[in-house]
Amino acid sequence: MSDLTPELVMPLLRGRLGTPYRFVATCASTQRLLGEDDPEGSIVVTDHQTQGRGRLGRAWEDTPGRSILMSILLRPRPPMPLWPELSLVAGEAVARALRNETGIDATLRHPNDVVVAGRKLVGILPEASPGRVALGIGVNVNQSADELPTETAKPPTSVRMEAGREVERAALLAAILAELEQGYDAWSAPYLVR
């Protein structure tokens, strides 16, 4: 059984992002499962994507049950030209959650990767359409070196490899959502008072 099912994750959530929470064992891409009418904060999480995507049309490969693979629906108020900033907001939030939860020195590498010593740990893919942004986040969590792809533009790593231990994915997912909500709210605040 997955450690990312609603029964295990929902009690750990501390804010509005992540509700409603939907888990599917396998899918082509979590980005495709967010509906046009879903409310802000909706999330789709999977244990395995068969057609995961990264920036510039690159493929995102995963080992089933070892990553956090999710898409969150946001409905930002700032003007559309500012929406690409959400990639930076999300990257900083994920890096902060990783530092706080695991102690690893994760940092944002502009525009959408979180790295440790130059090795890619997280990819972020925001896809905007009128009135909404589907924010895809893929985190290499519990892979060993032989489970990570070798044919990549940037050398990959995982939380397990950097921290020297396996990490509970549900707790890390909840921490990422809490940090993302805080960063997203701070980014949105100037536009809410107009």
The residue with greater pLDDT, 104 or 62, is 104
DSSP code per residue over 50-85: SS-B-GGG-B----TTSEEEEEEEE---S-GGGTTH
Locate 11 and state its tokens: 């009690």
Domain count, the chain: 1
SS3 128: strand
The mean per-residue pLDDT over the stretch 89-116 comes to 94
Whether 171 and 12 have beta carbons less than 8 Å apart is answered as yes
- Higher pLDDT: 154 or 136? It is 136
Domain of residue 161, CATH code: 3.30.930.10
pLDDT value for 124: 93
- Say whether pLDDT at 122 is over 90: yes
Region 82-90: what's the mean pLDDT? 88
Residue 57 has pLDDT above 60, yes or no: no
In sequence order, the β-bridge partners of residue 74 are: 133
At 55 the pLDDT is 52
Mark 95-113 as b/e (b = at least 16 C-beta within 10 Å): bbbbeebbebebbbeeebb
What span, in angstroms and rounded, lies between the C-alpha atoms of 137 and 144? 20
Is position 1 within any domain? no
* 41, part of any domain: yes
Q: Which domain covers residue 110, as residue numbers?
A: 6-192
Helix (H/G/I), strand (E/B), else coil: 112: coil
Return the higher-pLDDT residue of 82 and 11.
11
Predicted TM-score of the model (pTM): 0.92
Tell whether 22 is covered by a domain.
Answer: yes
**129-146 pLDDT, tens digit each:** 888 999 999 999 999 999
- Report helix, strand or coil for 157: coil
Domain membership flag for residue 14: yes
